[in-house]
Amino acid sequence: MSSTNRGKARNTADYYVTPVEAVLDFIAALRADLPKWTPRLVLDPCAGGDPKHEMSYPLALGKVWSDVEIATVDIREDSLAQYCGDYLACDIAQDILDKAGRPFAPDLVMSNPPFCLAMEFLQKALLDVAKEGYVVMLLRLNYFGTQKRRDWWKGHMPLLTYVHSERMGFTDDGKTDSIEYMHCVWQKDNFPAKTRLSVI
């Protein structure tokens, strides 16, 4: 997701590389808040990657938790993801298997979704994640706004919100994006009235 994408139609070529350092900053903050939790099975439904760039979230996760098993999905044919397809049309219980050949039951779904489809990805991830599992999405800070999402927020407030104090750059030219971003953390079926917000 990048603020350079202002269209409303889904574009399979609309790909922006999430800065790995920003993901690592987030993971460090999350580990400080959830010190006893370690993910076992992780799903990245918008994994990205291409011949010039590794998949950002799997790369960052692997640097922190070496034993985690990560399944990756992306709609782009040139992605490095294991599964090429549309996550929104995917039945992970049938379409994705873990290393033992069983239906994939992630305890963490973590990704940078397309901005115009962020809600759809989030809602599906909350269904797909295992009981007591977590869903993490990189979103624009202003995603908390708009009347369209107001009622949804009332019943689905994230447990934790991490606002990145440094603006992100999603392209190879080193230029930063024009707005601020946050990693929001939901826990399945655990929606507080208020989120706990940290600036990292």
According to the model, what pLDDT value does residue 134 have?
98
Give the fold, CATH level 3, of 20-199.
Rossmann fold (3.40.50)
Residue 8, pLDDT > 50, answer no
* DSSP states along 72-105: EEES-TTS--SEES-GGG--HHHH-B-TTSSBP-
* Residue in the block written with tokens 């407030």: 157
Residue 120's φ and ψ, nearest 5 degrees, are -65, -45
Confidence category of residue 1, pLDDT binned at 50, 70, 90: very low
* Residue in the block written with tokens 């919100």: 161
Cβ-based neighbours of 56, under 8 Å, separated by 6 or more: 17, 18, 19, 20, 23, 48, 49, 112
Stretch 107-115: mean pLDDT, rounded? 94
135-172 pLDDT, tens digit per residue, is 999 999 999 988 889 999 999 999 999 999 988 877 77
Confidence category of residue 124, pLDDT binned at 50, 70, 90: very high
Confidence category of residue 175, pLDDT binned at 50, 70, 90: confident
Stretch 105-131: mean pLDDT, rounded? 95
Domain regions of the chain by residue span: 20-199
26-55 pLDDT, tens digit per residue, is 999 999 999 999 999 999 999 998 888 899
Above pLDDT 90, what percent of the chain? 68
Helices (H), the chain: 20-33, 56-64, 92-95, 118-128, 150-155
The more confidently predicted of residues 198 and 103 is: 198
In angstroms, the CA 123 to CA 155 distance is 12
Stretch 170-185: mean pLDDT, rounded? 83
Q: What is the pLDDT of the chain when averaged over all its residues?
A: 88
According to the model, what pLDDT value does residue 162 have?
98
Question: Do residues 92 and 129 lie in contact, with contact meaning Cβ atoms separated by under 8 Å?
Answer: no
The amino acid sitting at 16 is: Y
According to the model, what pLDDT value does residue 171 have?
73
Residue 72, pLDDT > 50, answer yes
Distances (CA, A) of 182 to 95, 118, 161: 30, 13, 7
Residue 3, pLDDT > 70, answer no
User: % helix / strand / coil in the chain, to the nearest 5?
Assistant: 30, 20, 50
